[in-house]
């Protein structure tokens, strides 16, 4: 496995232009990865509105039309009926609204919070292998960064979002965002524990198959046989529940509960900054789906025990990316579907569920696999 | 006698929430594919139930006679005072001179009207009827005030079962016309 440093080191030996070119290439890759995550975030906003409407027996947004685009024969109507131009209208609204800063906030942290909320999502997007390609007879991930310890990196960075929420809640200097921030902080910390335990279980299991089980790509690649959601059903389930809680999605969105807290940590935000929070939330959802697909749902493998043949070359690569994205889309749908099915847990129920059910279950699961492996 | 309702303890499976979550997901999944109730309004016309109260209009009887006798009951009963009537007389050489009164001008301000239907209820002649027109719009306030001519155009003909005035006229003819 070639790591980032090795490539840069190798390029540095070649020439200074080699390094520059390499860095530019990395920028391009990162841009593409960020675009993928953002696109999914945007599409899931539309999907949320559409799926919710369909579940409730409505049609959802289907009227917004951009004049020239809407006139294109089939495509225009398709975009219009599926509410895809609504997305653009929403984005424009966020961009062009007046952006007032309330007088009572702590300006610095208030301004920093939305970026802090969104950035970790985009950073973690870098380690997600969107697909694979083959060169020199071995498999490589289509990812911005592929290095050992990427699972640790992913865990470390993704939990930074809690600071975005806390900063927003505290600097807003208003009680509702503050309560929301403490709630979401406590919730994320509690469920991070479950998430950590399930990942440790996964890693020790993967360690029996690959040489470097902390590399997210190798863990994903280890699912060429049975996917980990089949070999570790309880672990997959706990991880999924923890993801729901981490992303503050229903049934765990106690920090947003509009009935008692107006709308969560971003209550005092408007226009573009609110837009960042909004995109950040959906970005989290997209990222959580990607993580679940990568770690438990067989990443780019189409079916358990079956993979795209490596001698098809780039066709297989395209198919692998496609498979991955389809699975991610399904997971996003699942998140939305869940949201419009379940009511919200009470805050104390969320905490009790986290600490006295999920954590013990996670530990039991861990011990079980530990025993299983050592046998 | 007091009835003690036995409160069943939740079973173990129920306390995990999982069966309920799965059945809930199944219900929402079925809903996803059910026909939608949304009515796409400008393209699809809504189905108006019988007795729907749309815009008030003035109607004529089957002989094409204007029924309103400008008694002004509707004007007085109208809660938001949307109706304005200028009463007039039917000229002596008219076929219907014996009815004596007809509105000279009749205005309903559709911006004020609340479609309550009181005018229709109050009218002794069944001359003002709320019909099915519900999409009333205009670019100026003046456009939204309908005058007598517009009200009759919107109203059309409403044949009566009881030919009240005809009967009076016929009897009057029989008795030698002292009316
Ligand atoms: S429907 Fe009601 S508000 Fe409208 S004109 Fe008749 S009485 Fe007035
Ligand atoms: S519409 Fe009816 S109630 Fe109104 S003035 Fe004419 S006859 Fe009287």
In chain B, what are the domains? Answer: 56-155 (3.30.70.3270)
Q: What is the mean pLDDT of residues B48-57?
A: 91
Mean pLDDT of B99-110: 91
Nearest to B37 among A57, A340, A341 (CB): A57
pLDDT of residue A297: 87
For atom 2 of ligand 1, the residue with the nearest CA is B116
Locate the chain B residue with the closest alpha carbon to A54: B32
Kindly report which listed range (A8-22, A58-72, A147-161, A242-256) carries the lowest average pLDDT score: A8-22
Q: How far is CA A134 from the centre of its chain?
A: 26
Burial of A30 (0-12, 13-18, 19+ CB in 10 A): middle
Task: Report the pLDDT averaged over residues A14-32.
Answer: 81
**Separation of alpha carbons B85 and B106, rounded Å:** 5
Q: Mean of the per-residue pLDDT values for chain A? A: 85
ipTM of the complex: 0.81
Query: Are residues B24 and A341, on separate chains, in Cβ contact within 8 Å?
Result: yes
For residue A257, pLDDT beyond 90: no
Q: Mutation test of the interface with chain B: which of A50, A51, A53, A55, choosing the one with the most B Cβ atoms within 10 A?
A: A55
Number of A to B CB contacts under 8 A, please give it.
31
Handedness of CA B129, B122, B160, B172 (dihedral sign): negative
HSE-CB at A107 with a 13 A cutoff on CA atoms is 3
What is the mean pLDDT of the segment spanning B88-115? 89
Is the beta carbon of B57 within 6 A of some atom in ligand 2?
Answer: no
Nearest ligand to the CA of B69 is 2
What is the B139 CA–ligand 2 centroid distance (Å)?
29
DSSP reduced 3-state for A29? helix
pLDDT in tens, B1-49: 788 998 888 888 888 888 888 999 999 999 889 898 888 888 888 889 9
Is the minimum distance from the CB of B71 to ligand 2 under 6 angstroms?
yes
What's the mean pLDDT in A188-214?
88
Please determine, for residue A52, whether its predicted confidence score (pLDDT) is greater than 80. yes
Distance of CA B14 to the CA centre of its chain: 53
* Predicted confidence (pLDDT) at residue A2 exceeds the cutoff of 80: no
Ligand 2 within 6 A of B109 CB? no
> For the residues B68-79, what does the mean pLDDT come to?
93
- pLDDT value at B77 more than 90: yes
Strand-pairing partners, residue A134, are: A139
State mean pLDDT over B94-121. 91
Q: What is the pLDDT of residues A286-332, one digit of tens each?
A: 889 989 998 888 888 888 878 887 777 788 888 888 889 999 999 99
Q: How far apart are CA B103 and CA B91, in angstroms?
A: 12
Q: How far is the CA of A32 from the centre of ligand 2 (A)?
A: 73
Q: Residue B146: what pLDDT?
A: 92
Which among A112, A261, A105 has a CA at the least distance from the CA of A183? A261
Domain ranges of chain A: 32-60+103-374, 63-96
For CA atoms A132, A293, A351, A371, the dihedral sign is: negative
Work out whether the CA dihedral B125, B158, B117, B83 comes out positive or negative.
negative
> B35, B38, B39, B42: best mutation site toward chain A, by most A Cβ within 10 Å?
B38
pLDDT > 70? residue B175: no
**pLDDT value at residue A251:** 83
* pLDDT score at B148: 92
CB A317 within 8 A of CB A131: yes
Q: Is B108 in the pocket of ligand 2 (CB under 6 A)?
A: no
Q: B88 pairs with which residues across the strands?
A: B102
B24 touches chain A (CB under 8 A): yes
Which 3 state secondary structure label does DSSP give A134?
strand
Task: Read off the pLDDT band of B177 (50, 70, 90).
Answer: very low
Give the binding-site residues of ligand 1, using a 6 Å CB cut-off. B 56, 77-80, 82-83, 108, 113-119, 130
In this prediction, residue B139 carries a pLDDT of 93
Please judge whether A59 and B38 are an interchain contact, meaning their C-beta atoms are less than 8 angstroms apart.
Answer: yes
Query: Percent of chain B scored above 90 by pLDDT?
Result: 44
How remote is the CA of residue B79 from the centroid of ligand 1, in Å? 7
The verdict on a CB contact (< 8 Å) between A57 and B28 is no
| DSSP symbols for B88-133 | EE--TTSTTGGG-EEEEEEEEETTT-----HHHHH-TTS-EEE-S-
- pLDDT exceeds cutoff 70 at B131: yes
Atom of ligand 2 nearest to the CA of B128: 1
Helix or strand holding residue B71 (H, E)? none
pLDDT higher than 80, residue A273: yes
pLDDT (0 to 100) of residue B123: 92
First to last CA, chain A: 30
The ligand whose atoms approach the alpha carbon of B111 most closely is: 1
Query: Given an 8 Å threshold on Cβ–Cβ distance, is B25 in contact with A56?
Result: no
For residue A92, what are its two tokens?
């424009």
pTM score of the predicted model: 0.82
Q: Say yes or no to pLDDT of A348 above 60.
A: yes
User: Cβ of A332: how many Cβ atoms within 10 Å?
Assistant: 23
In this prediction, residue B83 has a pLDDT band, given cuts at 50, 70 and 90, of very high
B 26-85 → A contacts, CB under 8 A: 27-29, 31-32, 34, 36-38, 40
Backbone φ, ψ for residue B38 (5° rounding): -60, 135
Q: Residue A57: list chain B partners with CB under 8 A.
A: 31, 34, 36-38
Cβ of B144 below 6 Å from ligand 2: no
């Amino acid at each position: 496995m070639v790591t980032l440093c090795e490539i840069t080191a190798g390029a540095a030996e070649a020439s200074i232009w080699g390094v520059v070119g390499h860095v530019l290439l990395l920028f391009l890759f990162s841009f593409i990865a960020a675009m993928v995550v953002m696109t999914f975030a945007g599409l899931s906003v539309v999907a949320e509105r559409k799926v919710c409407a369909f579940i409730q027996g409505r049609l959802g947004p289907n009227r917004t039309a951009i004049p020239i685009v809407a006139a294109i024969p089939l495509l225009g109507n398709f975009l219009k009926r599926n509410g895809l131009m609504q997305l653009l209208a929403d984005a424009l609204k966020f961009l062009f609204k007046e952006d007032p800063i309330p007088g009572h906030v702590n300006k610095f942290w208030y301004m920093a919070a939305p970026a802090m909320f969104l950035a970790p999502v985009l950073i973690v997007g870098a380690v997600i292998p969107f697909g694979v390609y083959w060169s020199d007879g071995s498999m490589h991930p289509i990812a911005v960064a592929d290095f050992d310890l990427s699972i640790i990196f992913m865990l470390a960075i993704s939990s930074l979002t809690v600071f975005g929420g806390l900063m927003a809640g505290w600097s807003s200097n208003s009680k509702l965002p503050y309560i929301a921030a403490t709630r979401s902080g406590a919730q994320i910390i509690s469920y991070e524990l479950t998430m950590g335990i399930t990942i440790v279980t996964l890693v020790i299991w993967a360690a029996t198959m690959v040489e470097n089980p902390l590399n997210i790509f190798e863990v994903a690649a280890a699912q060429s046989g049975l996917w980990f959601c089949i070999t570790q059903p309880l672990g997959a389930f706990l991880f999924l529940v923890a993801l729901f809680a981490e992303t503050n999605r229903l049934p765990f969105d106690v920090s947003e509960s509009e009935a008692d807290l107006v709308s969560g940590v971003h209550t005092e935000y408007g226009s573009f900054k609110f837009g960042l929070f909004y995109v950040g939330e959906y970005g989290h959802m997209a990222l959580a789906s990607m993580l679940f697909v990568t770690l438990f749902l067989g990443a780019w493998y189409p079916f358990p025990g079956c993979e795209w043949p490596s001698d098809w070359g780039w066709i297989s690569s395209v198919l692998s990316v496609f498979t991955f994205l389809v699975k991610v889309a399904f997971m996003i749908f699942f998140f939305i579907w869940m949201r419009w099915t379940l009511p919200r847990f009470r805050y104390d129920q969320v905490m009790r569920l986290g600490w006295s059910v999920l954590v013990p279950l996670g530990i039991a699961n861990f011990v079980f696999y530990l025993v299983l492996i050592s046998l | 006698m007091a009835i003690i309702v036995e409160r069943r303890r939740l079973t173990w499976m129920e306390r995990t929430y999982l069966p309920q979550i799965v059945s809930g997901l199944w219900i929402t999944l079925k809903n996803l594919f059910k026909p939608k109730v949304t009515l796409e309004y400008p393209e699809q016309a809504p189905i108006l139930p019988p007795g729907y109260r749309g815009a008030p209009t003035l109607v004529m009887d089957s002989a094409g006679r204007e029924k309103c006798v400008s008694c002004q009951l509707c004007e007085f009963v109208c809660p938001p005072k949307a109706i304005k009537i200028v009463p007039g007389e039917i000229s002596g050489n008219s076929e219907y001179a014996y009815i004596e009164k007809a509105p000279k001008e009749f205005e309903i301000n559709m911006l004020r009207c609340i479609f309550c239907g009181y005018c229709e209820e109050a009218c002794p002649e069944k001359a003002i009827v709320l019909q099915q027109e519900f999409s009333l719009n205009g670019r100026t306030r003046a456009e939204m005030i309908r005058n007598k001519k517009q009200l009759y155009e919107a109203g059309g003909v409403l044949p009566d079962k009881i030919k009240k005035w005809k009967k009076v006229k016929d009897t009057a003819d029989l008795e030698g016309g002292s009316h």
